Chains A and B, each alone.
Chain A
Amino acid sequence: MNNELEKIIQIFLVEAAEKLDEYSAELLVLEQTPTNKSSLKSMIRSIHTIKGSSGIFHSSVSEFEVDETFLLNIQKLTEISHVFEDLLVVFLEKEEIIPTPAQIELFFKTEEKYSTLITLLQSFSKETIGIDDIKKEISNELSIIQASSTTIQKEKALCFHIFLIENIKMKFATVTLLYKQLQNIFGEESISFSPTKEELKNLTDFDFITVHLHTTQTKEEISSLFKTKFSNVKHITFPEDSQQEESQEQEELLPQQETTKQPTTLTQPSYQTIKVSTDKINDVFKHVSNLVILENSLSNYVKEAKALTTTPTKDLIELSERITSTVKNLHDSIMKIRMTPLEEIFKRFPIDVRNISKELHKKIDLKIFGRETEIDKMLLDELPEPLMHIIRNSISHGIETEEERILANKPPKGTITLSAKHEDGFVIIEVMDDGKGIDVNRVVNKAIERNIITTAQAEKMSDTEKINLIFHSGLSTEEHVNRFSGRGVGMDIVSAVIKSLKGQIEVQSEKGKGTTSTIRLPLTLATIEALMTEINGESYAFPISQFKEVITYNPKTDIRYVNNQPILLLEEQDLKQEVTKQEIPIFCLRQFFNLPPEENHIEKEEQLAIIFQTGHQHVAITIDSYSDPKTIVMTNLGNFIGNIPGISGCSLQGDSSISLIVDINGILNHLQKQKRH
């Protein structure tokens, strides 16, 4: 495809998807607080932008040769936006009209249309969807509102400033009292203040109080109320009339600008940001990586020179050290740029959860924790689909219907908790539901039925192992296939994606109580701390994250065999002279990688091995020699070579040789498979 065209399409689609995300987020707020006009305003702005850019997009794309359906889908975006914007604006213009639940439902329905159209455009699909229904519904709604709005007297949203009389004594106590009195008059629900009661405690002084109020009373009535009842109040002003129109006009001109005018709007904190394509950052990263390698060789060189008689000058040593620290800082900074909060993908989930649960007639509360947890952008981009799949499973299989829940003595509304945190250099993402849990026996029966395991194997498996059978392809316990899950593909794909990111996924479930899926991911795939070792004269790097210790054992006396698998008997004395005994399977990389055996391996009485730990599992991997851990830049071996079991990537060394990075999880998985078959 034409390069320029591709670029235009990319820019448009990214923007449209972004605007739609903003729209949905605000819509969810509006659903909770229908009186929230600032959310409505943001929604209008998003739709306005989509309308504008889809129009421009249409005309610039039609210069190229593109599919007719593609153009039609763009046009549909513009068409919906036209009518929809008109409808939304009515709610904003007539402040007394508060959207009803049915109208909000229509807003959600429109969101779905947008979402479908954008997805169709993204995949250059030759399909399209009908939009006449939704357009009709929107314009019907619009005419109904316009007809009725003039007659009904409804609550109005008012905003005014209170100025206290000067030199007031005990200002804060007075204000607190004032708040209380006002709340009594208008009801706690319909009035809010800025500064709030909590904020007052931390303030030294303020000029005026801003009040937001929903009431049927008119401004004049309120003015007179203050004049007669509150002696401490000097006067009140209504800033809205003059400013509202002004600000609206400005927004027409600058639809992108954030509204910062009203001090009380609860907009998210806006950071100063620039958008940079990932390619460019990767480019910088590549150069920095090379610099790290060069710096490694420089400090090696200085070290060697120091050891030899050619003593380098003090300056050179100092300079080398300074370069080392600068390069480290540079590397850290670029890593920080790549780190992106999970919020970026989490923000999309509430609307999806709402739509799915609506369709399945289940009531669900989605709680999200740890949005700020950061992870490498490259990993982040792979996560939405597997996560959404797990959540979908929780809604359709996990959470029971309202009636079932009441019978089971549970709150009628199901809860799905999505949480993220950092732990030991990993990112842990958890999806937890309080549904009915996974029926272990059903999973096992299905697995036996489909010849995935034998009855004998099933008997030997632990509950966790049984539950984790759901990651096997072709295993879905839901008898009724529905739109969202139950096609039998999915969990195996989820597991494959997580594995490709060098992560792990585990499911725990308790019948009747719920299911928890835990995903463990490295913070980044780009750099890792690794222990450098040599096997057969070649360099292998072991990620330090699961490293426990390096040990020496005697192959002649310390090894026993179980089912042909060598097991190392370990006896260790700790500081308190207590002896702990451990049995650890030995994994021979030489054998696994088809390397020749060591020349003197029969007589050898001392063997080095590294012990790694994941969860409760240990494995000892034999090595020839090792050196200090260091930070290495991880790259992949390229598509031509593809995936090699036991190897997760490679790293360029200071002397321009390549070290292979060993994939401990991969090896543990391999050992587990051996066990099962």
Chain B
Amino acid sequence: MKNNFLNTSKHIIFQLKKEYYSISISFVERVIAINDEIKIRHIPNTKKEVIGVTNYQGQNIPLIDLQIKFKENNNNTTVEKFTSYDNNEFNSFYQYAILCKIEGETVGILVNEVISVKEAENIETMKDSTFKFSFFDESFIEGIWRTVVSKKTNVEDTNANEELIVVLNIFSLLNKNQQK
């Protein structure tokens, strides 16, 4: 059941800092642009990855930074964290939020760029992956795939490179024992 979404082929590909991720579009409710109208409220004493809460159309939605979540256990890497409580700075730190519905809860994943929606092919699941390194925490990652990433639509993009895309295990976001 859990692995089904690997095969539901359409994925939304997005970029956070230097890294590319994808999730099945079946979880995605919508993508919103972070602009002046999206106000973020910092929440004290909550999970590290929760940058804050915003009210979108009457609903309180936690906004999370994936890289903080994934690397919180890894002391070797430091993640640049948004700490200011100023809304303007928030706008320049993240550009979009992908609102996902997981088990009835809506969570906003903060990203820098939403690349495209694409048929995901040849996903190498973590079971048979050759990647077995410490930086690769399997509990957050379902698999990995390679594809040409083009930020331009309808135009032949000469700068398009093949990138490594991490397929998120979206249920790991809800993992309640990760709580601080």
Chain A residues near B105: list those with CB within 8 A: 638-640
Interface positions, chain B 32-51, Cβ under 8 Å from A, are: 37, 39, 41-47, 50
Among residues of A, the one whose C-beta sits closest to the C-beta of B62 is A640
Tell me which of B50, B53, B176 contacts A650 (CB under 8 A).
B53
Assuming the A-B contacts A635-B60, A650-B60, are A641 and B47 also in contact, with contact meaning beta carbons closer than 8 angstroms in the complex?
yes
Q: Report Cα–Cα, A532/B10, bound state, in Å.
A: 47
A637 and B42 within 8 A (CB): no
**A490 at interface (Cβ–Cβ under 8 A)?**
no
Interface positions, chain A 47-87, Cβ under 8 Å from B, are: none
B85 and A660 within 8 A (CB): no
Distance (Å) between the CB of B37 and the closest chain A CB? 7
Chain B residues near A642: list those with CB within 8 A: 46, 176, 179
Tell me which of B41, B62, B107 contacts A657 (CB under 8 A).
B41
Q: Report Cα–Cα, A286/B57, bound state, in Å.
A: 11
B45 and A641 within 8 A (CB): no
Distance (Å) between the CB of A88 and the closest chain B CB? 45
Contact digits for A610-649, partner B, Cβ 8 Å, 1 yes 0 no: 0000000000000000000000000111111110111100
Q: Considering only CB atoms and an 8 Å cut-off, how many residues of chain A contact the other chain?
A: 30
Contact digits for B157-168, partner A, Cβ 8 Å, 1 yes 0 no: 000000000000
B55 and A658 within 8 A (CB): yes
Q: Report Cα–Cα, A658/B52, bound state, in Å.
A: 10
Assuming the A-B contacts A637-B60, A637-B62, are A644 and B179 also in contact, with contact meaning beta carbons closer than 8 angstroms in the complex?
no
**A656 at interface (Cβ–Cβ under 8 A)?**
yes
**A204 at interface (Cβ–Cβ under 8 A)?**
no
Among residues of A, the one whose C-beta sits closest to the C-beta of B56 is A656
B60 and A658 within 8 A (CB): yes
**A124 at interface (Cβ–Cβ under 8 A)?**
no
B45 and A658 within 8 A (CB): no
Chain B residues near A644: list those with CB within 8 A: 43-46
Assuming the A-B contacts A637-B62, A640-B62, are A660 and B43 also in contact, with contact meaning beta carbons closer than 8 angstroms in the complex?
yes
Contact digits for B101-128, partner A, Cβ 8 Å, 1 yes 0 no: 0000111000000000000000000000
A646 and B55 within 8 A (CB): no
Chain A residues near B79: list those with CB within 8 A: none
Distance (Å) between the CB of B143 and the closest chain A CB? 24
**A552 at interface (Cβ–Cβ under 8 A)?**
no
Tell me which of B42, B47, B55, B106 contacts A652 (CB under 8 A).
B55
Distance (Å) between the CB of B134 and the closest chain A CB? 28
**A269 at interface (Cβ–Cβ under 8 A)?**
no
Chain B residues near A593: list those with CB within 8 A: 44-45
B39 and A641 within 8 A (CB): no
Assuming the A-B contacts A641-B53, A645-B45, A660-B43, are A536 and B85 also in contact, with contact meaning beta carbons closer than 8 angstroms in the complex?
yes
Chain A residues near B53: list those with CB within 8 A: 637-638, 641, 650, 658
**A538 at interface (Cβ–Cβ under 8 A)?**
yes
Tell me which of A592, A594, A647, A658 contacts B54 (CB under 8 A).
A658
Interface of B is mostly: mixed
Contact digits for B54-80, partner A, Cβ 8 Å, 1 yes 0 no: 110010111000000000000000000
A657 and B39 within 8 A (CB): yes
Interface of A is mostly: loop
**B174 at interface (Cβ–Cβ under 8 A)?**
yes
Distance (Å) between the CB of A496 and the closest chain B CB? 17
Q: Report Cα–Cα, A638/B104, bound state, in Å.
A: 10
Distance (Å) between the CB of B33 and the closest chain A CB? 15
Q: Report Cα–Cα, A638/B55, bound state, in Å.
A: 11
Q: Report Cα–Cα, A65/B43, bound state, in Å.
A: 46
Among residues of A, the one whose C-beta sits closest to the C-beta of B39 is A657
Q: Report Cα–Cα, A595/B37, bound state, in Å.
A: 25
**A537 at interface (Cβ–Cβ under 8 A)?**
yes
Q: Report Cα–Cα, A536/B42, bound state, in Å.
A: 11
Chain B residues near A545: list those with CB within 8 A: none
A660 and B37 within 8 A (CB): no
Q: Report Cα–Cα, A225/B58, bound state, in Å.
A: 76
Distance (Å) between the CB of B97 and the closest chain A CB? 14
**A290 at interface (Cβ–Cβ under 8 A)?**
yes
Q: Report Cα–Cα, A640/B99, bound state, in Å.
A: 13
A658 and B39 within 8 A (CB): yes
Chain B residues near A289: list those with CB within 8 A: 58
Q: Report Cα–Cα, A157/B177, bound state, in Å.
A: 68
Q: Report Cα–Cα, A640/B179, bound state, in Å.
A: 10
Among residues of B, the one whose C-beta sits closest to the C-beta of A657 is B39
A658 and B41 within 8 A (CB): yes
Assuming the A-B contacts A537-B85, A641-B47, A644-B46, are A636 and B60 also in contact, with contact meaning beta carbons closer than 8 angstroms in the complex?
yes
Q: Report Cα–Cα, A652/B41, bound state, in Å.
A: 10
Chain A residues near B60: list those with CB within 8 A: 635-638, 650, 658
Q: Report Cα–Cα, A641/B43, bound state, in Å.
A: 9
Chain B residues near A536: list those with CB within 8 A: 85
A641 and B46 within 8 A (CB): yes
Chain B residues near A538: list those with CB within 8 A: 41-42, 85
Q: Report Cα–Cα, A637/B47, bound state, in Å.
A: 13
Chain A residues near B46: list those with CB within 8 A: 641-642, 644
Contact digits for A271-297, partner B, Cβ 8 Å, 1 yes 0 no: 000000000000000100110000000
Chain B residues near A640: list those with CB within 8 A: 50, 62, 105, 107, 174
Chain A residues near B176: list those with CB within 8 A: 642
Chain B residues near A290: list those with CB within 8 A: 58
Q: Report Cα–Cα, A660/B44, bound state, in Å.
A: 10
Among residues of A, the one whose C-beta sits closest to the C-beta of B87 is A657
- Which residues in B have some Cβ–Cβ distance to A below 8 Å? 37, 39, 41-47, 50, 53-55, 58, 60-62, 85, 105-107, 174, 176, 179
Q: Please, could you name 21 A-B residue pairs with CB atoms under 8 Å apart, sorted by A? A: A536-B85, A592-B44, A592-B45, A635-B60, A637-B62, A639-B105, A640-B50, A640-B105, A640-B107, A641-B62, A642-B176, A642-B179, A644-B44, A644-B46, A646-B44, A647-B43, A650-B53, A650-B60, A655-B39, A658-B39, A658-B41
Q: Which 9 A-B pairs have the closest CB atoms?
A: A593-B44, A658-B41, A657-B39, A640-B62, A652-B55, A640-B105, A644-B45, A641-B62, A641-B46
- Known contacts A536-B85, A660-B41; can you find 17 more A-B pairs with CB under 8 A? A538-B42, A538-B85, A592-B45, A593-B44, A594-B44, A594-B45, A638-B61, A641-B47, A641-B53, A646-B44, A646-B45, A650-B41, A650-B53, A652-B55, A652-B58, A658-B53, A658-B60
- Which residues in A have some Cβ–Cβ distance to B below 8 Å? 286, 289-290, 536-538, 592-595, 635-642, 644-647, 650, 652, 655-660
